[in-house]
Amino acid sequence: MNAQPQEKPLMNMGEYLELERNSKIKHEYFNGEIFAMVGAKKNHILIGANLTAELRNRFKAKNSTCKVLPNDMRVKIDNDKGYTGYTYPDIAITCGSIEFEDNEFDTLTNPIVIIEILSDSTEAFDRGDKFAYYRGIPTLKEYILVSQKRCRIEKFVRENDGLWSLFLYEEIKQTMKIDSIDCELPLSEIYWEIEF
Rg over CA atoms, the chain: 16
Q: Structural domain tally of the chain?
A: 1
Q: Own/partner pairs for 180-184, CB < 8 Å, 24+ apart?
A: 180/112, 180/113, 180/141, 180/142, 181/59, 181/64, 181/66, 181/93, 181/95, 181/112, 181/113, 181/142, 182/62, 182/64, 183/55, 183/58, 183/59, 183/66, 184/58
- On whether residue 31 sits in a domain, the answer given is no
Q: In this structure, what are the phi and psi dihedrals at residue 126, rounded to the nearest 5 degrees?
A: -60, -35
- On whether residue 179 sits in a domain, the answer given is yes
**d(C-alpha 146, C-alpha 46), whole Å:** 12
Task: Write down the pLDDT at residue 1.
Answer: 53
Task: Write down the pLDDT at residue 73.
Answer: 96
Task: Write down the pLDDT at residue 4.
Answer: 57
Residue 114 lies in domain: 40-190
Q: 126 and 91 in contact (C-beta within 8 Å)?
A: no
Q: What is the CATH number of the domain that holds 48?
A: 3.90.1570.10
- On whether residue 1 sits in a domain, the answer given is no
- On whether residue 26 sits in a domain, the answer given is no
Largest CA-CA distance found in the chain, in angstroms, rounded:
48
- On whether residue 14 sits in a domain, the answer given is no
- On whether residue 23 sits in a domain, the answer given is no
- On whether residue 149 sits in a domain, the answer given is yes
Averages of pLDDT over runs of 10 residues in the chain (196 residues) are 61 93 93 88 96 97 96 89 89 97 95 96 90 93 97 97 96 98 98 95
